[in-house]
Amino acid sequence: MPSASPSCPAPARAGETPPTAPPTRRTHPTPLHPAAWWLWSLSLGLAATRTTNPLLLTLLIATSAYVVAARRPHTPWARSYSAFVKLALAVLLIRLAFAVTLGSPLPGTHVIVTLPEVPLPDWAQGIRLGGKVTAETLTFAFYDGLKLATLLICVGAANALASPTRLLKSLPGALYEMGVAVVVALTFAPNLIADVQRLRAARRLRGRPDSGLRGLLQVGLPVLEGALERSVALAAAMDARGYGRTADVPPRVRRTTNALTLGGLLGVCAGTYGLLTAEGGTYGVPVLLAGAAAALAGLRLGGRRTPRTRYRPDPWGARAWLVTASGAAVAAALAWASVHDPAALHPGVIPLTTPTLPLYPAAAILLGLLPAFVTPPPEEPS
């Protein structure tokens, strides 16, 4: 009798249950390190501060929006991106409203409308209510407001892409307590938005109004109650995990840690200010690097006071380096272009000129789309 092939299972006999294949285990790709998302988003925001060209700023917004749409996880805190977009739009409109009502010292010849001017006392010199509204004033206010709106949208992209809890787990021990406060503050807006959406959907199912002043007042009390319940639960969880307890370290190490951390942070602030201003371009980079090195040394020593263990720490792999490098390349390219070609990145207002799209900075901004192709897609909700 021929023996059964080793690759083929033996046929089941009468009355026996046929053998079943073992269940396959689904493996999900490792998610990207949350700090990489923040570095990428902040780099795009830094690039937005180097230009007032509305075409480049719009391209930065489109780049961040595409990456968020492609890689945003299916979690409640990831829905905060739309709220940041609305906030950016509100900031832009408020900036334009201030330019119309309060005027601007910027001279202009293209008068759009003349509003009734309110006379002010002598102590309010320099402030004007009403008067002539020129195209130059509105254009300057639009450029300035769009730059701030782009920065807010880039921060919203970081909130939508990076998990706050995983970011807290990745912080060094010296920043753990401050990191908890920051993470709680960052998760307040997404949780609040999720609660409002959930309550509005419940009111619509019950046939009750969910918009307008009446709907807002009736939704506000349950949202406040939910926020208080989460605060109590968070306080209990933090106390159970030993939040705020520190280890004993020698006074000399403590003083050295404070000096290095404070001096390093001051150096980082001074170096960043030098990079953002044209006058400090020579000393900005060395001061920033020295401050960052001192701050890292202080954080390394400060970690002795808060001994912590990490369960399955997030790895910093090649994808994280690529995402961070793409954002840094965008910031570096626009910083270089702002020095060598300032007219293209800052279109003139007086005289009023039409902004053009510079090819090199625009191509550099497109490097920010790299995270949409090198990072794993978000997991589908089960």
pLDDT at 354: 84
Do the beta carbons of residue 195 and residue 223 sit within 8 Å? yes
Residue pair 356/56 in contact by the 8 Å Cβ criterion: no
Measured CA to CA, the distance from residue 267 to residue 292 in angstroms comes to 7
For residue 80, how many C-alpha atoms fall within 13 Å in the half-sphere facing its CB? Answer: 26
Whole-number pLDDT of residue 7: 47
Predicted local confidence at residue 325, as pLDDT: 93
Q: What does the angle CA 220 – CA 226 – CA 230 come to, to the nearest 5 degrees? A: 145
Cα separation, 231 vs 237, in Å, equals: 10
Rounded CA-CA distance 316/371 in Å is 15
Sign for the pseudo-dihedral over CA of 114, 117, 122, 127: negative
Amino acid symbol at 326: S
Instruction: Walk along the chain (382 residues) and give the pLDDT tens digit of each residue.
Output: 444 444 455 554 555 555 555 554 445 567 788 888 889 999 999 899 888 899 999 999 999 999 999 888 877 767 778 888 999 999 999 988 888 887 766 676 777 777 777 777 777 666 677 777 788 888 888 998 999 999 999 988 988 888 776 776 666 666 666 666 666 666 666 667 777 777 778 877 877 776 766 666 677 777 777 777 776 777 677 667 666 666 666 777 778 877 887 888 888 888 877 766 655 556 777 888 888 888 888 777 766 666 666 666 677 888 889 999 999 999 999 988 888 888 888 888 877 788 888 888 899 999 999 999 988 887 765 5
Locate 21 and state its tokens. Answer: 């294949």
> What does DSSP say about strands 111-118 and 129-134: parallel, antiparallel, or unpaired?
antiparallel
CA 194 to CA 80: how far, in whole Å?
Answer: 8
Specify the pTM: 0.68
| Four-point Cα dihedral 195, 148, 373, 310, nearest 10 | -60
Q: Tell me, what DSSP letter sits at residue 58?
A: H
State the CB neighbour count (10 A cutoff) for residue 248: 7
Go through 209-218 and write b for each residue having 16 or more CB atoms within 10 A of its CB, e for each that does not.
ebeeeebeee
Q: Is 133 helix (H, G, I), strand (E, B) or coil?
A: strand
